[in-house]
Amino acid sequence: MGDPTAATTSIKTLAVDIGGSGIKVMILDEQGNPLTERERVETPNPATPDAVIHAIMGLSEGKEFDRVSVGFPGVVRKGVTETAVNLHPDWIGFDLATALIHPLNRPVRVANDADIQGLGAVAGEGVELVITLGTGIGAALFLNGKLVPNLELGHHPFRKGETYEEQLGRAALDSVGKKRWNNRLERAIDLLERIYNYDVLYLGGGNTKKIDFVLPPNVKIAPNVTGLLGGIALWRD
């Protein structure tokens, strides 16, 4: 049995994961262990800043927490969202951290969602690449656990004049079907290994459940929950 007072004295973090199709939250303890189940609501349509913040407020209602970590699907610098391909143009240049501090009355830190998923998944040894397969394609690169932020690999050219996101995002999966999507993913894995020479590639995001081929030994599936669990790393400073 541990110290019965530990749970009450621990700093609690509300981890938020904003996605193109869903917004998820979970409360974490100081070590990054979940204290609650993951809760999810559909991402509003249109996914304007006001609508998304309203959804986050609803998910946070009735919960006890001391600080907030937010994963956002786009480039983030100092809490400001600079791109938002799968949400709404109003996010460009939006200070999300400041917009959440007042209504939540807690300190807030915001980072790219794939970066946070990577922080929750990587072992911290060698070159580790994280690719998230969801509505869009996210990416994060780590060297000995050190993050190279805002990689945005999903918008790089991949094949046939299209980007990774255009070939492997949710719209592409729905359009071409599971078999062709898996063939494309196999090609992408082969190409990414030759470009980055990674020690480990982690595949995360909701569409990992659609993978139906045998992955190479140095490719691992990262559980979807790591997109929330990695939020604790934003406070390690």
What is the block-wise mean pLDDT of the chain (237 residues), using blocks of 10 residues? 54 97 96 96 98 98 97 96 96 98 97 95 97 96 94 94 98 98 98 98 96 98 93 91
Clarify whether residues 120 and 211 are in a common domain. Answer: yes
Residue 13's pLDDT is: 98
Residue 1 in domain: no
pTM of this structure:
0.90
Dihedral angle computed from the Cα positions of residues 174, 177, 180 and 181, in that order, rounded to the nearest 10 degrees: 40
Give the chain's domain count.
Answer: 2
How many CA within 13 A on the CB side of residue 150? 13
Clarify whether residues 152 and 64 are in a common domain. Answer: no
The Cα–Cα gap between 82 and 203 comes to 24
Residue 7's pLDDT is: 46
- Say if residues 137 and 153 touch (Cβ distance below 8 Å): yes
Clarify whether residues 102 and 183 are in a common domain. Answer: no
Residue 6's pLDDT is: 46
Contacts of 148 (CB under 8 A, 6+ apart): 140, 141, 142
Clarify whether residues 120 and 155 are in a common domain. Answer: yes
Residue 211 in domain: yes
Clarify whether residues 123 and 43 are in a common domain. Answer: no
Clarify whether residues 161 and 108 are in a common domain. Answer: no
Clarify whether residues 86 and 121 are in a common domain. Answer: no
- Say if residues 139 and 152 touch (Cβ distance below 8 Å): yes
Clarify whether residues 145 and 207 are in a common domain. Answer: yes
Residue 141 in domain: yes
Residue 1's pLDDT is: 47
Clarify whether residues 99 and 186 are in a common domain. Answer: no
Residue at token pair 């001391």: 66
Domain that holds residue 213: 116-222
How far is Cα of residue 35 from the mean position of the Cα atoms in its chain? 19
Residue 127 in domain: yes
DSSP per position, the chain: ---TTHHHHS--EEEEEE-SSEEEEEEE-TTS-BSS--EEEEPPSS--HHHHHHHHHHHHTT---SEEEEEESS-EETTEE---TTS-GGGTTEEHHHHHHHHHTS-EEEEEHHHHHHHHH--SSSEEEEEEESSSEEEEEEETTEEE----GGGSEEETTEEHHHHHSHHHHHHH-HHHHHHHHHHHHHHHHHHH--SEEEEESGGGGG--SPPPTTEEEPPTTHHHHGGGGGG--
Q: Provide the angle, in degrees to the nearest 10, between the axes of the packed helices 96-104 and 49-60.
A: 40
Residue 193 in domain: yes
- Say if residues 132 and 160 touch (Cβ distance below 8 Å): no
- Among residues 15, 41, 205, 35, which one has the least CA distance to residue 110? 15
Cα torsion 98, 101, 107, 113: sign: negative
Contacts of 9 (CB under 8 A, 6+ apart): none
Residue 126 in domain: yes
Clarify whether residues 121 and 209 are in a common domain. Answer: yes
CATH number of domain containing 16:
3.30.420.40
Residue 43's pLDDT is: 97
Residue 3's pLDDT is: 52
- Say if residues 72 and 23 touch (Cβ distance below 8 Å): no
Clarify whether residues 197 and 173 are in a common domain. Answer: yes
Residue 217 in domain: yes
Residue 141's pLDDT is: 98
Clarify whether residues 18 and 90 are in a common domain. Answer: yes
Residue 26 in domain: yes
